[in-house]
Amino acid sequence: MADFENEALQTQVEELVARRRWAELREVLSPLEPADIAMLFDELPPDRLPLLYRLLPKELAAEVFVEMDGDQQEVLIKSFSDTELKEVLEELYVDDAVDVIEEMPATVVKRILRNVDPETRKSINEILQYPEDSAGSIMTTEFVDLKEDLTVADAIKRIRRTGTDKETIHICYVIDDKRHLIGLVSLRTLLLSEEDDVIADIMERHLISVHTLDDQEAVARTLSKYDFLAVPVVDRENRLVGIVTVDDAMDVLQEEVTEDIEKMAAMLPSDKPYLKAGTWETFKARIPWLLLLMISSTFTGQIIASFENALAAAAVLTAYIPMLMDTGGNCGSQASVSVIRGISLNEIEFSDLLRVIWKEVRVAVACGGVLAAANFIKLMLVDRMIFHSPISITVAAVICGTMVCTVLCAKVVGCSLPMLAKKIGFDPAVMASPFITTIVDAISLLIYFRFATVLLHLH
């Protein structure tokens, strides 16, 4: 089923709901993917939700539940009897159960914890205690563990016996008696080995693991870099406590990118989709940086005010302020955004600082030269000859000289600030366009008035 069929499907579902054709509705819904059903339900009035949800076969229902957003889950849980809630919770993987719990108000959380079996409750509480955004908080505790003295045949038997409850069976982890991680073996290797091979002989002993407290983004990047389907999570004593699977890693990467992009556009990161966040939430995410940047841009205004006399003497200069400031801002944001992205992809490290600056200097000279030349031609041909603007060659030289210097400063500031931020432990992403623009604005004006005072003999 492709995306473009969604609308037709939705109309169909709404019609069946209106005509109360429950049996038909179940026929329509059952073959769909859980993510699509959750999307369909999202568009329906919430009071319909419990009824429709009960139409789904039990296993599918739990899968759909996982794909829903917090509000919908809450509506459902509140409509569940304790028996229904137990049934759904039994079908959930531990990490999904934790995701649900994190979105719920305290009363609902209590009810959930009361209704899961004691073992799951223990696992849930364990995961909940890890800090937000750590490997421990996104891992699952349902994986296949093997002992190294098992034969392949026994291992496969064990997988068959216990595999239904595991989030992945494609990678199995080998542990010793004290649960230390000592190796891994893929299901593929198991299948392609002889039945009487011993795990110890076929397992991979050099393996990459992450620590429970590692940042979730680093974990996701590890999975992506090595093309793993899952990565084991160990505690401080190298005991295996969980695994992070590739589907969760993909979600983490998407979330982190969205966060970075939001920070680059001077917003506080939000974990809600755009249309789900209320006005108040969006306002709160946007206003702090707007206020801060507004205040800092008043310094730019102070610079202009302090050169008021110069501007009065050569009024033509005022008209080129926006162009110089905008171009500086654009150059700076190009450099900063390139570097920020490079840092987050691990392509750039602090030790590359001089290489990066040297590269930006060369690019800046090229860009600045071309922009100044284009500008000079435009000043002479368009502004002077067509619009009869009072632009002397000296004024043009002031504008074009400022252009070259501004571009150079903008690129150097733009590329080095994110790297310095990272070095001192700040998030490089906040050093993006708006922040750089404010700094570069001030710099470009200072350069402009410097050139003007010197070349035009203003005071």
Contact of 385 with 391, CB cutoff 8 Å: no
Nearest to a copy of itself of 177, 308 (CB atom) = 308
Nearest to a copy of itself of 137, 327 (CB atom) = 327
Judged by CB under 8 A, the residue of 48, 362, 377, 392 near a copy of itself is 362
Nearest to a copy of itself of 108, 182 (CB atom) = 182
225 belongs to the binding site for a copy of itself (CB under 8 A): yes
333 belongs to the binding site for a copy of itself (CB under 8 A): yes
420 belongs to the binding site for a copy of itself (CB under 8 A): no
DSSP string covering 65-120: HHHS-HHHHHHHHHH--HHHHHHHHHHS-HHHHHHHHHHS-HHHHHHHHHHS-HHH
Structure tokens at 82: 């304790």
Per-residue x/- track, 174-213, a copy of itself (CB under 8 A):
-------------xx--xx------------xx-x-----
Could you tell me which of 59, 135, 38, 137 has the C-alpha nearest to residue 94?
Answer: 137
Contact of 440 with 328, CB cutoff 8 Å: yes
313 belongs to the binding site for a copy of itself (CB under 8 A): no
323 belongs to the binding site for a copy of itself (CB under 8 A): yes
322 belongs to the binding site for a copy of itself (CB under 8 A): yes
Could you tell me which of 243, 208, 218, 251 has the C-alpha nearest to residue 127?
Answer: 243
Binding to a copy of itself (CB under 8 A) within 104-123 occurs at none
437 belongs to the binding site for a copy of itself (CB under 8 A): yes
The number of residues that bind a copy of itself (CB under 8 A) is 116
Nearest to a copy of itself of 75, 218 (CB atom) = 218
406 belongs to the binding site for a copy of itself (CB under 8 A): no
Binding to a copy of itself (CB under 8 A) within 269-298 occurs at 273-275, 279-280, 282-283, 286-287, 289-291, 293-295, 297-298
Q: How far apart are CA 255 and CA 249, in angstroms?
A: 10
Helix (H, G, I), strand (E, B) or coil at 457: coil
Provide the terminal-to-terminal Cα distance of the chain, rounded to the nearest Å.
72
C-alpha 268: how far from chain center: 13
Structure-token match 């994110």, residue found: 418
Binding to a copy of itself (CB under 8 A) within 17-46 occurs at 31-35
Strand 144-146 with 230-234, pairing: unpaired
CB of 16 to a copy of itself, least distance (A): 18
CB of 178 to a copy of itself, least distance (A): 22
- Three-state SS across 393-446? HHHHHHHHHHHHHHHHHHHHHHHHHHHHHHHCCCCHHHHCHHHHHHHHHHHHHH
> What burial class does residue 116 get, using C-beta atoms within 10 Å of its C-beta: 0-12 exposed, 13-18 middle, 19+ buried?
buried
Stretch that binds a copy of itself, among 49-57, 106-114, 127-135, 242-250 (CB under 8 A): 242-250
356 belongs to the binding site for a copy of itself (CB under 8 A): yes
393 belongs to the binding site for a copy of itself (CB under 8 A): no
Judged by CB under 8 A, the residue of 367, 400, 409, 443 near a copy of itself is 367
227 belongs to the binding site for a copy of itself (CB under 8 A): yes
